[in-house]
Structure formats: C-alpha cells, structure tokens
C-alpha cells in the first residue's frame, strides 16, 4: 500500500497535498494489495505528484497490461466493482 508522506516533512502547499492524496488513492486501487519495495512506493508517491492526466494515463496503461496478462493466462480479470464468483474464488 502506498502511504502519503506527511505534509510537514516536505515543502508542499495544501492544494498539492490534497491532489497528491487523491492520486495516491487511485494508485492504491491497483497497488493496494501488492507487496511493494520501498523504492517502488517512493516512485509511486513521486508519480502521484504529477498532474492528474499523467497519473490517469499511467493507471490506464497498467490496467490494460493487467487485462492483457489475464487474457494470456486464460483468466477473466475482476473489475473493481465486480465481486469474484464462487467459481473463480479458488482459482487464483
């Protein structure tokens, strides 16, 4: 899970900090359950500091790659709003 650094530990304004928090939450939708290294977490926090469209495009590309990998493996990707069926529960 990606955790936003304390605002006081960096020289950022309130608007930047709020926007970064929103982007980190979006990234956590993908990476929240993934065990990340400290370097990976730092990179994702750095990415969250970029403008909204940059983060949205990276998230879109990651989702497409995840779907393509699931397709290659013959799996049906689970969407955020979809709950795994009883059939798929034990298949992972």
Over the stretch 36-67, which tens digit does the pLDDT of each residue have?
999 999 999 999 999 999 999 999 999 999 99
Residue 26, judged by CB atoms within 10 A of its CB (0-12, 13-18, 19+), counts as middle
Helical packing angle, 14-31 and 38-48, nearest 10°? 130
The rounded distance, in Å, linking the Cα atoms of 45 and 4 is 7
Q: What region does 64 belong to: left with phi over 0, alpha with psi -120 to 50, or beta? A: alpha
Calculate what percentage of the chain has a pLDDT beyond 70. 82
Task: Give the mean pLDDT of 70-76.
Answer: 84
What does the domain layout of the chain look like in residue ranges?
Answer: 7-89
In this structure, are residues 44 and 36 in contact, taking their beta carbons and an 8 Å threshold? yes
- Quick check: pTM over 0.85? no
12-25 pLDDT, tens digit per residue, is 899 999 999 999 99
Residue 8's pLDDT is what? Answer: 83
């Amino acid at each position: 899970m990606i955790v936003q650094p304390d605002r006081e530990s960096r020289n950022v304004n309130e608007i930047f900090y709020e926007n970064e928090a929103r982007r980190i939450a979006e990234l956590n939708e993908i990476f929240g359950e993934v065990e990340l290294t400290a370097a990976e977490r730092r990179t994702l926090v750095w990415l969250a500091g970029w403008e909204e469209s940059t983060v949205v495009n990276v998230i879109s590309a990651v989702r497409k790659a995840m779907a393509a990998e699931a397709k290659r493996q013959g799996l049906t990707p689970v969407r955020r709003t979809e709950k795994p069926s009883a059939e798929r529960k034990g298949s992972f």
